[in-house]
Amino acid sequence: MVGQKQKVAIIGSGNWGSAIAKIAGYNAARHKDIFDPIVNMYVYEEVIDGKKLTDIINRDHVNTKYLPHARLPENVVAVPKAEDAACGATLLVFVLPHQVRRFVVDPQFIQNVCKSLKNAISPNAHAISMIKGVEVSQHDISIYADVIQQALNIPCAALSGANIANEVASGLFSETTVGYRPHQRHLAEYYVKLFDTPKFRVGMIEDVAGVSLCGALKNIIAIGAGLVDGLGWGGNAKAAIMRIGLMEMRRFSLEFFENVRPETFTETSAGVADLITTCYGGRNRKCAEAFVKTRKPFHVLEAELLNGQKLQGTETAKDVYEFLQARGKVDEYPLLRTIYEICFEGLDPAQLTERL
């Protein structure tokens, strides 16, 4: 790690963005030989009790809206324009909520953010994406690390893991995984330096797509796990759905993406560990359980149970199903198919295991 100091910009400041800013700020200050200690954080400006959120963060060092119980280091500076936050940045951390694209008119939300950054960042910048989900348009499926890489023409890695944001922010023990591209281990080492702490252990694997896809596809499997809970089928059936789901996640990723490593799914925090936390906690599991018990449709349960948050698992199930259908591969993914049909086509949840 020689050369210029890394100038970090965090693009996003939701629950997870604020938690990761806490860690990045701590490490940037600790490793002054590697990082410029000032970490800019792009904060979408909102007014809270008559005050600007950026002003609250910069004065009180708390993101009162999205991470109210954690204190951010003072060297994390909230900036209300993305291009200002990224000015001169060499290391960009993308942690925008991917569901935003469902709220706004423009479906190319993330591409547009990238466009606004293009002239601001350092010419030798690089990025890491923590954005969950996949971009699907019928025949095509892309991970956000690729979307960012293409939009900015800079290398983009990915980070994912069993990382409930509030637990990470509270300093409880967690692991995570950085997926990097071939020949870019030297960049991954910056991400490890920026994020690794004794309570937040960062592993590395040469697999951007696998790490990204784990973070998206696990939400579909969590719907399956929640269906088992709703059916009252017990621990054996739930573990079986998780195991079969992990195998379908891996098969899907190996079939449709390049340079995917199978062990990303079975050995890393991004894979098996995140699947476990998501299938035992989290909103996808919860809504799927309620779906079986109440028979209300998912958009109703989402409104009733999630307090404004969106359900990623059902959306991703639909995106992935449509992609598989466009490719003529639906039959090869019986669990992904069955979960989709239960969610959207009226298939009886009790049929969950019939095709497996």
Instruction: Indicate the annotated binding residues for substrate.
Output: 132, 283-284
The stretch near its own copies (CB under 8 A) out of 36-44, 163-171, 253-261, 330-338 is 163-171
Sheet order of strands, 200-205 included: 76-79, 39-42, 8-11, 91-94, 126-129, 156-160, 174-179, 200-205
Which of 243, 293, 299, 355 binds its own copies (CB under 8 A)? It is: 243
Our CB check for its own copies shows the closer of 37 and 281 to be 281
Distances (CA, A) of 40 to 126, 139, 165, 219, 264: 15, 37, 19, 30, 31
According to DSSP, residue 349 is labeled G
Q: What Å distances lie between residue 129 and 97, 123, 159, 182, 234, CA to CA? A: 11, 18, 6, 16, 36
280 binds its own copies (CB under 8 A): yes
| Spatial CB neighbours of 276, under 8 Å, sequence gap ≥ 6 | 162, 242
Q: Which residues are annotated as a binding site?
A: 12-17, 109, 132, 165, 283-284, 310, 312
Q: Does 242 bind its own copies (CB under 8 A)?
A: yes
Contact flag: residue 338 with its own copies (CB under 8 A):
no
Tell me the window of 112-120, 155-163, 207-215, 336-344 that interacts with its own copies (CB under 8 A): 155-163
- Interaction between residue 328 and its own copies (CB under 8 A): no
* Smallest separation (angstroms) from its own copies to the CB of 149: 28
Measured CA to CA in angstroms, residue 259 lies from 80, 159, 182 at distances of 37, 16, 8
186 binds its own copies (CB under 8 A): no
Structure letter (DSSP) for residue 5:
P
**Judged by CB, which is closer to its own copies: 244, or 326?**
244
115: annotated active-site residue: no
List binding-site positions for NAD(+): 12-17, 109, 165, 283, 310, 312
* Residue 83 binding its own copies, by CB under 8 A: no
Find the part of the chain contacting its own copies (CB under 8 A) among 125-133, 143-151, 262-270, 303-311. 262-270
Residue type at 258 in one-letter notation: E
Nearest to 22 by CA among 51, 56, 55, 63: 63
Does residue 255 bind its own copies (CB under 8 A)? no
Helix (H, G, I), strand (E, B) or coil at 6: strand
Which of 147, 154, 273, 292 is close enough to bind its own copies by CB under 8 A? 273
CB 211 within 8 A of CB 158: yes
Q: Which of 162, 187, 209, 320 binds its own copies (CB under 8 A)?
A: 162
Residue tagged active-site, from 7, 22, 193, 218: 218
d(CA 138, CA 131): 21
Residue 185 CA, chain-centre distance (Å), reads 21
The binding site for its own copies (CB under 8 A) comprises: 161-164, 167-168, 170, 172-175, 199, 201, 233-240, 242-244, 246-247, 263, 266-269, 272-274, 276-277, 280-281, 352-353, 356
